[in-house]
Structure 1
Amino acid sequence: MPEIELNGKKIQYEVSVRNVRYVRIYVSPEGKLHVVSPTKNVEKFLKEKEKWILSKLESVERAKEIRGFPYLGKFYSSRCGVILLDNKILDLSDKRKLEKGLKKELRTLIMPIIEERAASLGVKPKRVFIRKQRTRWGSCSPKGNLSFNLAMLALPLELIEYLVTHEVAHLVEMNHSKRFWRLVEKFHPDWRKKRKELKEWWVIVHSNPIWKEILGGEK
């Protein structure tokens, strides 16, 4: 695997050569640097993006240092395969039962928000799915179905509300146009701040060993 030195730090990276016009770089939640490029010669581009890359890698390292199981924005310790939450116990020994329970809990939490936002915007989703998604917090299909990532349960409530608003707004605007963001802004004037926070939480969740196990076989 090729290696580059950025600010005195040696960093390995992986290059995928594809028929693309521009070079794109990604830092995975595991701290791996991936580059998609029309050529293997990407050292100059990586040097130009040194500050951004190092910032992302530092965020990953900070996330790895966070101890505990993130649940609704708080962090709880686990002991002997059990997590004691404020009002319930999570048994980690039965993964199927745990996943089923978490999906039910997230659905119970978000359905009133979905109904309220949908009524405000004059729309109605056809179906609502709770899934283990690999690359996104949520999505809205052209058929009007909403899908939400099980890992949303790790987030603070205000971010959960934002994600629900975001996807319900797509029932009105299936894009990220100015009109779409105006719809979101009615409920979340600070949506830019929340989007930034969600990126940080994505790294936290996917660096957490318990959530990684729960989300195993993500799809």
Structure 2
Amino acid sequence: MPKINLNGKQVQYEVSVRRVRYVRIYMTPEGKLWIVSPTKKVEQFLKEKEDWILSKLQKIEKAKQLSGFPYLGKFYSVKNGKKFEISGEGITLPSEEKLEKTLRKELKILITPIVHDKSEYLGVKPKKIFIRKQKTRWGSCSPRGNLNFNLAMLALPLELIDYLVTHETAHLIEMNHSKRFWKLVSHFHPDWRRKRRELKEWWIIIHNNSIWKQILEGER
């Protein structure tokens, strides 16, 4: 895998050569740099994106330094036990299979009344609510009117969970991200731009947390 020196830091990257007009750059939550380009000669492009790349890597390194298990926005010290339990600053986690079942149940209980509250206000009615382990997004709304939420939402502070539920419920009215859509969302969350930025930070944290990674990468 090729490397490039960016301000004294050796950064690995991978190039996918495709028939595209413009070079596109992606950074995975784990820190893998991936470029889609019409040519393999991307060094100059990476130099131009140096600040962006180093900023992303800095956030990832910071996330890797965090310890404990993030749950509802708080980090808990972990110990193993027979059942899921929070006591002070500590959290007891059962075996992986039992833990996932417990977390699914916890999230469903938590978000269901929020979905109903937002749906009632917006005058919509979702068909079903699903809890999934999604690789690339926090949630989605299907054309059939089903709402899908990422199990990893349980790591987030409650205000961000409320925002995500609002976001997907609003898609029952507007399936795109039009001005009307954001107007619906901003009624509940006028600071939605800030929350979207925070969600990007949390996405990095979760995908660099060993326990959450193990849960999310297990069989779906």
Task: Measure, in 2, the Cα distance between the counterparts of 1:92 and 1:23.
Answer: 45
Q: Which runs of 5+ in 1 are unaligned?
A: none
CA contact (8 A) 1:129 1:146 kept: yes
User: Do structure 1's residue 140 and structure 2's residue 180 form an aligned pair?
Assistant: no
The equivalent of 1:181 in structure 2 is: 182
AA partner of residue 167 (structure 2): H
Give the aligned partner of residue 98 of structure 2.
Answer: 97
Q: Kindly provide the amino acid, as one letter, of the partner of residue 100 in structure 2.
A: E
CA distance in 1, matches of 2:209, 2:24: 26
Alpha-carbon offset, residue 86 of structure 1: 4.0
2:117 & 2:111 partners in 1: Cα distance?
10
| Aligned CA distance change for structure 1 residues 86 and 189 (closer, same or farther; 3 Å) | farther
Q: Is 1:16 paired with 2:9?
A: no
Q: Who is 2:201 aligned against?
A: 200
**Aligned counterpart, 1:32:** 32
Give the Cα separation in 1 of the matches to 2:98 and 2:198.
30
Q: Following the alignment from structure 1 to structure 2, what is the Cα–Cα distance between the partners of residues 157 and 86?
A: 19
- CA shift, 1:96, in A, is 1.7
Q: How many residues are treated as equivalent by the alignment?
A: 218
| Structure 1 contact 23–36 (Cα < 8 Å) conserved | yes
Match for 2:175: what amino acid? M
When normalised by structure 2's length, the TM-score is 0.94
Aligned-pair CA distance for 1:56 = 0.3
The one-letter amino acid of 1:2's match is P
1:51 counterpart residue number: 51
Deviates more, 1:131-140 or 1:17-26: 17-26
Alpha-carbon distance between aligned partners in 2 of 1:217 and 1:91, rounded to the nearest angstrom: 16
Distance between the aligned counterparts of 2:6 and 2:53, measured in 1?
Answer: 9
Which string of whole-angstrom CA distances, capped at 9 and with x for unpartnered residues, describes residues 37-75 of structure 1? 222111111111110110000000000001110000000
Q: CA deviation at 1:76?
A: 0.4
> Do 1:133 and 1:218's aligned partners in 2 also have CA atoms closer than 8 Å?
no
List per-residue Cα deviations over 1:7-40 (Å, max 9, x = no partner): 1111010111122222221111211111112221
| Contact 1:77–1:84 (8 Å) recurs in 2 | no
> Structure 2 stretches of 5 or more lacking a match?
none
Q: Percent identity?
A: 70
Superposed displacement of residue 218, structure 1:
6.6
Q: What SS is found at the alignment partner of 2:161?
A: helix
The residue aligned with 1:211 is 212
Q: Report if the CA contact (8 A) 1:134-1:218 is conserved.
A: no
Aligned to 1:6: 6
Separation of aligned partners in 2, 1:90 and 1:139: 30
Say whether the 8 Å CA contact 2:78–2:91 is kept in structure 1. no
State the alpha-carbon separation in 2 of the partners of residues 137 and 25 from structure 1.
21
AA matched with 1:131: R
d(CA) in 2 for partners of 1:50, 1:35: 14
Aligned counterpart, 1:122? 123
- Report the residue type matching 1:166 in the other structure: H
Superposition misfits of 4+ residues, deviation over 6 angstroms: none
Cα distance in 2, alignment partners of residues 181 and 116 from structure 1: 18
Does the aligned pair in 2 maintain the 1:64–1:204 contact within 8 Å?
yes
Letter of the 2:46 partner, please give it.
L
Aligned to 2:113: 112
- Equivalent AA in structure 1 for residue 125 of structure 2: K
- Give the match's secondary structure for 1:180: helix
Q: Could you tell me which amino acid in structure 2 is paired with residue 59 of structure 1? A: K
Q: Pick closer, same or farther for the CA change 1:13–1:218 going to 2, 3 Å.
A: farther
- 2:219 and 2:186 map into 1 onto residues whose CA distance is 31
